[in-house]
A and B are shown apart, each in its own frame.
Chain A
Amino acid sequence: GAVVSQHPSRVICKSGTSVKIECRSLDFQATTMFWYRQFPKKSLMLMATSNEGSKATYEQGVEKDKFLINHASLTLSTLTVTSAHPEDSSFYICSADWGVQETQYFGPGTRLLVL
């Protein structure tokens, strides 16, 4: 299967600051990557679809000005949580499709804690 990495694995920040999370496809190119969010004891929820070279597509209820997505290359997508607040504390996970069957593979996740 494919390998997707994320950095950092966990981050603690103060309320009002911005945090950038990186998602990389390590051994393949991904024109599309996906960002999910998972609150404790809940399922993953799709936040947005990141498209290389174009604007991201956001799910209903996700603020595009708060969650900035940049997909500047075929192996890197970034999610920036701007002006983070405690309610943004969550587990953020990215994924990408790989292979002829376009199976979706996930990164290890980034745990964000906003104080």
Chain B
Amino acid sequence: AQTVTQSQPEMSVQEAETVTLSCTYDTSESDYYLFWYKQPPSRQMILVIRQEAYKQQNATENRFSVNFQKAAKSFSLKISDSQLGDAAMYFCAYRTFFISNFGNEKLTFGTGTRLTIIP
């Protein structure tokens, strides 16, 4: 079974600065997907960024980028130029690649990191 670990329950960063949220995972699979979801106070889970394990290039989405280290099973999220609207819970998630039966399409989540932005 896959596991996802987020070792930082809380993080804070000054507005306009850069912050990195860490995530490690454990799997025996070679192909999979990794995601970062953001959960603001509105409680909706919003997809921030996605990484395919078979791609060596790190995914980037505007101010959000990841550092994907497949051998180390590490998937950190970097937020540049932090904004007040970035304050939220951030969840790292894992999804298996192969759909042998439909039940494999579920996500495995970490416990989350609460990010606070200091004005």
Whether A and B are associated in the same complex: the answer reads: no
Question: Chain B: residues with CB nearer than 8 A to chain A?
Answer: none
Interface residues of A (CB under 8 A from B): none
